[in-house]
């Protein structure tokens, strides 16, 4: 039988492959642990410190009534709603921040998401607090000042919390951050 050169087809039979159970490829080389980035630990500690300042500073809100004046210089007294909102929001944000900071130091992503929630609560409460303060400072000539203060606080606060959110999200942006 003569073979044609370059016929374009292959001829022959196939043999079944037998898998030998004794020849399983196992990586016997050294296992190197992945070094987690320390940025998460540093940012977590900073978040815990910020939360502690919120938590420990909340009773100091009671002192904010001393020396408060309206726009004409007359002494004023803030309403009870101001103290309730300010103290409760500081306590809530402080507790969430401390827990979130602990989670971040343990390389847990949920700590970062909890911190974003704490920033949202702090931002909304700052708008409410500024509005209440502005309404307490209103006189007959300056009607609507509370609403303007609330809007101003919201606009300025969104930039502040956006920058803080970017800083807190640094471990998520690192390729070797090790967040779980």
Question: Domain boundaries in the chain?
Answer: 39-173
Q: Please provide the average confidence, as pLDDT, over all residues in the chain.
A: 83
| pLDDT in the model for residue 179 | 72
Closest CA to 72 of 147, 144, 137: 137
Residues 15-38: pLDDT tens digits?
A: 777 666 666 566 666 766 667 778
Q: Which position has the token pair 């509370």?
A: 146
Q: Which of 23-27, 81-85, 105-109, 137-141 has the lowest mean pLDDT?
A: 23-27
Mean of pLDDT values over 144-150 = 76
Instruction: Report CA Rg, the chain.
Output: 31
Mean pLDDT of 53-69: 87
Give the pLDDT confidence score for residue 160 in this predicted structure.
92
Angstrom distance (rounded) from CA 50 to CA 31: 38
Q: How confident is the model at residue 42 (pLDDT cuts 50, 70, 90)?
A: very high
Residue 110 · residue 132 · CB < 8 Å: no
| Confidence bin at 7 (pLDDT 50/70/90) | low
Q: Is residue 1 predicted with pLDDT exceeding 60?
A: no
Structure tokens at 28: 């016997």
């Amino acid at each position: 039988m003569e073979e044609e050169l370059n016929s374009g087809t292959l001829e022959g039979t196939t043999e079944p492959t037998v898998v030998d159970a004794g020849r399983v490829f196992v990586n016997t080389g050294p296992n190197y642990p992945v070094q987690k980035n320390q940025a998460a630990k540093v940012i977590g500690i900073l978040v815990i410190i910020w939360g502690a300042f919120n938590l420990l500073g909340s009773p100091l809100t009671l002192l904010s009534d001393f020396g408060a004046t309206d726009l004409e210089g007359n002494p004023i007294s803030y309403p009870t709603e101001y103290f309730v909102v300010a103290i409760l929001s500081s306590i809530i944000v402080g507790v969430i921040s401390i827990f979130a900071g602990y989670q971040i130091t343990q390389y847990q992503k949920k700590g970062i998401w909890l911190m974003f929630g704490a920033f949202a609560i702090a931002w909304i409460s700052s708008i409410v607090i500024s509005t209440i303060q502005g309404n307490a400072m209103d006189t007959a000539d300056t009607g609507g000042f509370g609403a303007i203060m609330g809007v101003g606080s919201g606009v300025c606060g969104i930039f502040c919390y956006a920058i803080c959110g970017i800083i807190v999200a640094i471990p998520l942006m690192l390729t070797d951050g090790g967040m779980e």
